[in-house]
Amino acid sequence: MHRKRPLLSIAFWILSSFVTLAPIYWMFSVSAKSRVELFGSPSLIPKGFFKDNYLNVMSDPAFQRYMLNSIIVATSNALLVTILAVLATYALSRYKLAGKENIFFWTITNRMAPPAVFLLPLFLLYTQVFTIGEWKMFDTRIGLILLYCVFNLPFAIWTLRSIIDGIPRELDEAAYVDGANTWQVLTKVIIPLAKPGIAVTGILTWVFAWNEYLFAATLTSVHARTITTGLAEFVTVTGTNWGQMAATAMLTLVPALLVLGLVQRHIVAGLTFGAVKE
Amino acid sequence: MRSSSVGWLFLTPTFFVLFVFGVVPFLYVLVIGFTQWNSFAADPTMHFVWAENFRRLVFDEPFLRSLWLTLKFAVFAVVGEVVLGYFLAQFFMRDFPGKGFFRTLHTLPLVVAPIAVGATWRLLTVPGLGPLPYYLDRWFGYEFNIGRYPSQAFAATVVMDIWHWTPLVTLTLLAALSAMPKEPFEQAQIDGANRFQMFWHITLPLLKPAILATVFIRLMDALRTVDEVWMLTGGGPASATRYIGLYIWRVVFPKTDYGYGSAMSLLTLYLTVVMCWLLYAALVARRDLRRPE
């Protein structure tokens, strides 16, 4: 419609990008300031790049452990969720199952629970019930990986549903005629065609697991702490170490940005929540 | 149709995980909700009090206020996100140089951890440290202090939520806009419809399922927001931003009133499910109308 006015749209984009970027820029600016500079009048541009915030955080063995835990938890959760969601969505899309729409809706109700109160039963289950001999679920990575399924799995199923529904059934039928079995139809027809959607689902799942704070803070103590809980640890009763907190926040952003870059091409096609029909 | 037992088989792992980590804790909460239980009180045992907690809830002014605030927050945030997201999506439908780059840029807030979003906005708004209060005061003489003025704190949480989640709406609506057929628009143009008529009579009805779906997802998540707001305002000043998630947290943890907290959570969950079910029913009804099976 406005192809004649490219300058206008570029101006619009620069302006809107400024609004989007401003908070992130400010976080960066704080992370690059020393404590003394921070409490002067708020200057938009740091005097120089004060490396200590980053160096202090990165050389801390606790931070390194948090980072490793986050990588393991988010990646395992994303893989697990994607595999389970593909299987579940395939079944919901291609089989006549009694109460299908109700099952579909039920999955998402698992995401609706206010997280605060479920911390208590989960804490009790993790410390007392889910135990094998000496081993407890509390403060383990596997505990977080499985728990994150509760809110990521519904999201993944809801994102994938429309994509798998959108693959014409004729393709399945043709494969069956050629002698394929259910498993082959899934792996040779459905999965390759749904790849963009699966990629987006997997990546967003990864991001949500990477970003989760409340459960990670309550259900871990030493070994399985993740980077978001590390970030909140800079807020203490004696005050907040803003510089190091901002540096940590910037560091948590890097992996998330990398994975976002990976799916950028697919992200629009993959996000429809069952709303787009051809 | 092929045997449904294979279908159930594919669903089993999902059911198993959701059952153990979703339904079991829910059942636990369900039981606790009917008891009086505070493991750190003088009497740490669990007593069954039946519906007493729920009776208490109905007369609990701060709880009702917090419920109302949460709803207000969710409505403001979701409406803001859908309107802004629609305009951004519409702009992204055009071709312009550097489109991919700008789209990535506008997706950025989506990948920032909620706790970091809260921290960032706190950094922007803390008096003496953040640029917002500083420049608003210097340029306009306007006193901006979310630790003091309830309406400013409320607005700050809404703006923060809009900043964080508009990208998700933009992407979803962009997907819907890209899938939209061109013929009705061409026809309308021939018939001499203006831009508003085209929007009202063609775009909006075609986009309705996508908008409903987005509202569904966003409303559900906005109603359970905790960490962002906790980091930005801590629920204050007074109780201006003490949304239901934070309120429940306060009752369950610092006060360790488990029974009452569970009852609160159950009621909130029930209200959320009902609200979302209505939206979902509207969504499914539409889908069935179009594609009868």
A18 touches chain B (CB under 8 A): no
| CA A174 – CA A193 distance, rounded (Å) | 15
Residue spans of the domains in chain B: they are 62-289
| CA A120 – CA B18 distance, rounded (Å) | 17
Cβ–Cβ under 8 Å, residues A121 and B293: no
Residue spans of the domains in chain A: they are 1-49, 51-274
Looking at residue B287, its pLDDT comes to: 62
- Give this complex's ipTM: 0.88
Cα A222–chain centre separation: 22
Looking at residue B71, its pLDDT comes to: 95
DSSP letter (8 states) at residue B251: H
Residues 6 or more apart whose Cβ sits within 8 Å of residue B182: none
In this predicted structure, the answer to whether residue B292 has a pLDDT above a threshold of 50 is: no
Looking at residue B270, its pLDDT comes to: 93
Looking at residue A232, its pLDDT comes to: 87
Distance of CA B124 to CAs A57, A233, B146, B267, Å?
A: 22, 19, 11, 35
Looking at residue B86, its pLDDT comes to: 93
Amino acid (one-letter) located at B229: V
Domain A51-274: homologous superfamily in CATH: MetI-like (1.10.3720.10)
| CA B158 – CA B258 distance, rounded (Å) | 30
Amino acid (one-letter) located at B282: A
- Percentage of chain B lying above the pLDDT 90 cut: 41
At residue A1 the predicted structure's pLDDT band, cuts being 50, 70 and 90, is very low
Strands A239-240 and B35-36: unpaired
CB contact under 8 Å between B29 and A38, yes or no, is no
At residue A83 the predicted structure's pLDDT band, cuts being 50, 70 and 90, is very high
| CA A16 – CA B88 distance, rounded (Å) | 9
Average pLDDT for A207-219: 92
CB contact under 8 Å between B265 and A117, yes or no, is yes
Residues 6 or more apart whose Cβ sits within 8 Å of residue B277: A105
Q: What are phi and psi of B98, to 5 degrees?
A: 75, 25
Q: Which CATH topology does B62-289 take?
A: MetI-like fold (1.10.3720)
Looking at residue B288, its pLDDT comes to: 59
| CA A203 – CA A241 distance, rounded (Å) | 31
Quick one: CA dihedral B15, B19, B21, B22, positive or negative? positive
For B14-45, the pLDDT digits (tens) are 999 999 999 999 999 999 999 988 877 777 78
| CA B43 – CA B63 distance, rounded (Å) | 25
Give the residue from A1, A8, A12, A13 with the most B CB atoms within 10 Å of its CB, the best one to mutate: A13
Bridge partners of residue A136, in order along the sequence: A131
Give the residue from B11, B199, B220 with the most A CB atoms within 10 Å of its CB, the best one to mutate: B11
Contacts of B246 in chain A (CB under 8 A): 116
Q: Structure pTM? A: 0.90
